Chains A and B, each alone.
Chain A
């Protein structure tokens, strides 16, 4: 029996929730649950966990593009069937992990991963791991840039940092293709963020049909949208809105609420770079990423300006920071004026906060460094 459209309620099952996690544990995980004693990274991309019982679990971590086909998932399954007793897992950062219970089983696993071509091993320790990212032009209606393409371009260039552990600390790059930030990139070492720069269009031909105007008006955090009469292409007067353009900060919330107010534009849209955020509480508390480059153009298919900017920041940090120092901690230690100087990034008034609570980020001390910015 399957679904019967004539009888939709017949045999219906709801609210069963996710399957219980334990049935998907490899035996070594199940047997040593809660008994792990310590771990070691034996080579880039390989973790060794040792249990109080003496049992060992070797994990090989590989990059996954997140946007993946069922054919590729089947390839992953083949590896897991051949080497890992039919189990595998994903990490919170879109990596795939294959686990074996002895060192002897590790090398054959690594060999098979290497043979495949789309399963690079890495993403551990003081290196670069996979990029948390969003949907982009592949599947969303509000993006200011693509997601998968930018990630591919950036990671092709920075690939050696994924397969090695030469950085001062781990570096987390994340990408969100609009300010909705489905990837929640606001606390990343390096955040790549799609931004709009033109106020919404107003489509008077459809606005009264497709929008609840009061909701559109209320959607604007800055009160830039007001009810107004508009003229449609037939020359008729219709209920509509106006946007006070000088007030708009291009957040796109109006478009989320009202399909007749699109912002996207080939010249207007592009990428901002924010840096210095972190999530963990290690040494310093979590930090927001800060905007250092307000705009780079959308240049598909390989976004060279964005790739160069990210690579430059990463490499200046890698050379200059102390062991264990996260990118944001480094920038704070040397001072943001030094950050801009060392990275050779022009400072811009766009990097000075003028939104709510902005004052918190303005400098109110005589303590600063003389950099080339002071003429």
Chain B
């Protein structure tokens, strides 16, 4: 029996897209608090504002994050959601699950929570929505002991890392994104659970410049797979595309009649660097001009593949708008080898990455201001200074184009004789 009337939400039960309202109602049959979620949400639909209070600080002992406090501002009407905290559980790399582990999580959440979840949070965690303070330690106990799972991050810390599907089911991954994500998460458990940074810090791992996990625009430390040798070409397979035997872009455009595949128009002319030509029947790529944008590889996956001297490009500083406007990460390290370690927990893996990460943290923890993302810290001090701190030689690849204003911050030691000058000597030569 419905506990509250929800005439507005009921209108979201029709239509072909999966309805969260239908889902909530079904869950409410066994988890009564779901009626109160629906009831409070209906009230928001009527009032056109939220009815959640500013979150309180709750958590488990010894951790500074992973649990977000949440309280209703209409608890008398909806007692089932009076306390409705969120638990973030660190997802396994690229979100594969066995039904066994999922069903055990469900069983726990039936006993100790609302039965509702977000699969997943936008950072990557499994997000369990809605529990009360006395449950928190119990949940943490069961998670660590029975599920062998741990909390994800929140607050000014290393947020839960995430990665693309990579080598598990993608032919383009230039390094093992899943191993990297796991290794880095395991290595920096302390940084993840005990906030000690100026603000949040995200690192994400994509295996190639297609960047399926949005590393370059949604993480502070963006790791995007890349290669530095030549694109591998299978000329026989190129012919199959030309003849129309293989679907372009793996069939991604099959729903519309775009006419016969035209390699000149669809690949060669769209190459942003114009570095491809046909020499007779052979496709030629001037690899020294290629910027590895992936277009040709995406269009002809059977014929073209990334090179074999692979690693990752590291970019730093992406963030959403708050405070100083959105930023994308800036390319800092053009090519870093990403070599996995051995064993579980892994040892000796991704050492180049870790060295750069730690160096970045050391500086940012000293110099970053409270609630300043690293991208903003870099803006504040300027990219040249940041490169100097990171001991990176400035290269044209660091910029879109050179500066157009003449306001260079020369340093005293860079100018012969320095900035110390004698105004009297100057006046002796130049009368006022």
Which A residues lie at the B interface, using CB under 8 A? 2-3, 5, 8-9, 11-21, 23-26, 29, 33-34, 36-42, 44, 49, 57, 59, 63-74, 76-77, 80-81, 86-92, 94, 99, 118-120, 124-127, 132-143, 146, 148-149, 151-153, 155-156, 159, 162, 164-167, 170, 176, 179-184, 186-187, 219, 221, 251, 253, 255-256, 259, 264-266, 269, 279-284, 286, 288, 298, 300-302, 323-324, 355-357
Residues of B within 8 A of A29 (CB): 96, 168-169
> Is the C-beta of B51 less than 8 angstroms from some C-beta in chain A?
yes
Is the beta-carbon distance between B96 and A24 smaller than 8 angstroms?
yes
**Which of B214-222, B390-398, B420-428 interfaces with chain A?**
B214-222
If A20-B182, A77-B102, A139-B52 touch, whether A184 touches B251 (CB-CB below 8 Å) is no
Asked if A119 contacts B18 (CB within 8 A), the reply is yes
Q: Check A134/B23 contact, CB under 8 A, given A21-B94, A281-B294, A283-B270.
A: no
User: Contacts A77-B102, A89-B94; is A41 near B250 (CB within 8 Å)?
Assistant: yes
| B169 contacts A36, C-beta separation under 8 Å | yes
* B:231-250 near A, CB below 8 Å: 247, 249-250
The 6 closest A-B pairs by CB, nearest first: A125-B252, A156-B15, A69-B27, A165-B255, A266-B48, A181-B320
Please indicate the chain A residues that have their CB under 8 angstroms from the CB of B293 in the complex: 281-283
26 contacts between A and B (CB under 8 A): A3-B138, A16-B144, A17-B186, A20-B182, A24-B101, A26-B96, A33-B168, A36-B167, A36-B169, A65-B18, A67-B116, A68-B116, A73-B106, A73-B119, A86-B99, A89-B95, A90-B120, A94-B120, A125-B255, A141-B50, A181-B322, A253-B322, A256-B322, A279-B218, A282-B210, A324-B295
- What B residues does A81 contact at CB under 8 A? 99
* Known contacts A69-B34, A186-B321, A264-B49; A165/B253 CB under 8 A: yes
State the CA gap A357–B14 with chains docked (Å): 45
Q: Tell whether B209 is near chain A: CB-to-CB under 8 Å.
A: yes
Q: Which of B17, B100, B101, B169 is in CB contact (< 8 Å) with A155?
A: B17
Give the shortest distance, in Å, between A253 (CB) and chain B (any CB). 6
> A127 to chain B: which residues have CB within 8 Å?
255
Partner of B294, one of A26, A156, A180, A280: A280
Chain B nearest CB from A28 CB (Å) reads: 9
Q: Is the CB of B321 within 8 A of A88?
A: no
Q: Are A14 and B96 in contact (CB under 8 A)?
A: no
| Contact A280/B209 with A49-B169, A356-B325 known, Cβ cut-off 8 Å | yes
Number of B interface residues, CB 8 Å? 137
Main secondary structure of the interface of A (DSSP, over half): loop
A301 and B45 within 8 A (CB): yes
Contact with A along B396-425 (1 / 0, CB 8 A): 000000000000000000000000000000
Contact partner, A156, options B16, B26, B140, Cβ 8 Å: B16
CB nearest to B297 among chain A residues: A282
Instruction: Judge if B137 is at the interface, Cβ distance under 8 Å.
Output: yes
Q: Which of A69, A132, A159 has the most CB of B within 10 A?
A: A69
